[in-house]
Amino acid sequence: MSRIGRQPVPVPQGVEVQVAGQKLTVKGKLGSQVLQLHQDIEAKLDAGKLVLATRAQSKRAKSLWGTSRALIANMVSGVSKGFTRNLAIEGTGFRAALEGKVLSLQLGFSHEVKYAIPEGIAVKVGGDKQNALEITGSDKRLVGQVAAEIRAYKKPEPYQGKGIRFTDERVRRKEGKKK
């Protein structure tokens, strides 16, 4: 049995949770999110806490119990506090610029890379050399996906460390060629 699924999800002040059948809606100051629960999982709102239970005793229901609880906890946290991923751009001449809802990246290619920022995501370009990116949003999955897509344009290479990396990521450096 899942131990995570047993824990109730606390609903903080300013967050509204609605359960209509298998459709769960969470609204807060940073937006709203909707989750379609599996038919084997049921959710009940009880005294400011959301409690999940399984309808069947199948292995699949037990597996989805903890996953559903984690997704709902991320939704509640996202609409109240939000999520942030920070990226660092390292390399000579590498920089980023924001042009409306399009992120323009100069990464040493013959052309600049344009990335259309999806709805619900905010990107800030910082640093004195425009080499820091802050990606924020209320959907944890979408924030991580956008950060991963931007990082995939130029992954950090191990010899000089050039590329786009997460700020909490350690790039394992290799020793270069010896004479």
Tens digit of pLDDT for each residue in 34-89? 999 999 999 999 888 999 999 988 899 888 999 999 999 999 999 999 999 999 99
Residues 76 and 87 placed together within one structural domain of the fold: no
Tens digit of pLDDT for each residue in 101-137? 999 999 999 999 999 999 999 999 987 888 999 999 9
Structural domain that includes position 26? 9-80
CA distance 77 to 15: 9
Instruction: Quote the pTM value.
Output: 0.88
Please report how many Cα atoms fall inside a 13 Å half-sphere around the Cα of residue 73, on the Cβ side. Answer: 15
Asked, for residue 59, whether it belongs to a domain, the answer is yes
Last residue within a domain, chosen from 59, 80, 101: 80
Segment 131-151 mean pLDDT: 95
Asked, for residue 142, whether it belongs to a domain, the answer is yes
Instruction: Specify the pairing of strand 49-54 against strand 83-90.
Output: unpaired
